[in-house]
A and B are shown apart, each in its own frame.
Chain A
Amino acid sequence: MKNSRRTFIKLAGIAAAGLAVAPRKVLASGGQEPVKVNATAVHAKHWAMVVDTTKLHTAEAIDKLAAVCHHIHNVPKIEGKKEVKWLWHDTYAHSFPEQENPHLAEEVHERVFPLLCNHCENPPCVRVCPTKATFQRPDGIVAMDYHRCIGCRYCMAGCPYGSRSFNWGEPRLNLDLANLNPEFPTRMRGVVEKCNFCVERLAVGKMPACVEASEGAMHFGDLKDPDSEVRKVLREKFTIRRKPSAGTEPSVYYII
């Protein structure tokens, strides 16, 4: 066959057709990952939490949940400005500053509210993190990869809820080492941390620890599933979210 432009174009056409027929075989040569999601894991399109503050509104009750959370995640106990917290409580004015009015029912005004990372649909912390150490999972959970955190604290500046803590010192110095949860790591100095919606528990089919310990005062489920528990509760009860004007679309809802 003579090597002409015509034969070259013919061959190129055949090759292009071949690529179109079997693109996966050509491109994905041996790129199989030997990993999969746990068989026992629970799944959702978007995890969300509803807190019933008519049932859960005292500092003691919230502190009890915080103790459970902090114990299983080995969160150090530090007093003062260098405090590290995943779950804590605060007043109405601090929790919902934009939704306050001077004639609010006294009973509501006196409640304290459990606060945690809101796992926003539009998380500013993820947008500002320079190393992608904090990221949004496909199921909506805003997770932290401590391996990549460089401790720049941009995410703390970005979070409008103060949900993130920085490990100023060696966190292990403030942990009860005899009473550690050996299943979960501690954190190191110089990383930012926060509530992780118990991803490690969801991966083995359990609900978040605070939800389990709340005795029905907290609901957890798939926001995108109209038949889920959280959607049922949201349909029946009036709920508010924190700082709506920040536009972050929190995934934690409060029944007032």
Chain B
Amino acid sequence: MHNGFAIVAGLVIFFAMLTAPFALGTMTKQYKEPELKLPKNEKECIESTEWMRNNHMQLLNEWRDWALRDGKRTYTNHKGKEFTISLQNTCMKCHESKADFCDKCHNDAGVSPYCWDCHVQPEGLK
């Protein structure tokens, strides 16, 4: 084989780099979900925790259209309980802190939704 050494060395380096993230990943710590500060006075969210974890973004997206565009501001959850549709006045009345609730996961996941460009977080604006 012409230039055999160079080719094999190149392949070794290539595969080492290709698999490096996996190798490094097993060596370093396991990813842990951030610990959120849950509401003190409420035990249950408007839907189940699992459902909210997966679907809160779709729910908020639908809420904003329902409230603002359709003028329908009362939401009935899967159990038949009614809530007023409002990020600022319903969600954030229980989740008293944006920094301790929203931001923790969003920062971890590298997501920055622009909800708070307009809506006022419970901590108030600086």
Interface residues on A, range: 20 to 34
Residue of A nearest to B66 (CB): A35
Say whether B125 contacts A37, CB under 8 Å.
Answer: no
Can you list 21 residue pairs at the A/B interface with Cβ under 8 Å? A33-B72, A35-B70, A35-B74, A35-B75, A37-B74, A38-B73, A38-B74, A38-B84, A41-B71, A41-B73, A145-B68, A147-B64, A172-B125, A175-B125, A180-B120, A180-B124, A182-B120, A185-B119, A187-B118, A199-B71, A203-B73
> Given A188-B114, A188-B118, A183 and B88 touching (CB < 8 A)?
yes
In the bound complex, CA of A33 to CA of B70 (Å):
11
Shortest Cβ distance from residue B117 to the other chain A in the assembled complex, whole angstroms: 4
Residues of A within 8 A of B49 (CB): none
What is the predominant secondary structure among interface residues of chain B facing chain A?
loop
Quick check: is A16 within 8 A (CB to CB) of the other chain? no
How many chain B residues sit at the interface, stated as a range, is: 20 to 34
Tell me, yes or no, whether A36 is within 8 Å of chain B by CB. Answer: yes
The CB with the most chain A CB atoms within 10 A, among B72, B88, B89, B122, is that of B72
Contact with A along B57-70 (1 / 0, CB 8 A): 00000001010111
Confirm or deny: B48 has a beta carbon within 8 angstroms of a beta carbon on chain A: no
Most buried by A among B68, B114, B124, B125: B68
What 1/0 mask marks residues of chain A from 182 to 213 whose CB sits below 8 Å from any chain B CB? 11111110000000000100010000000000
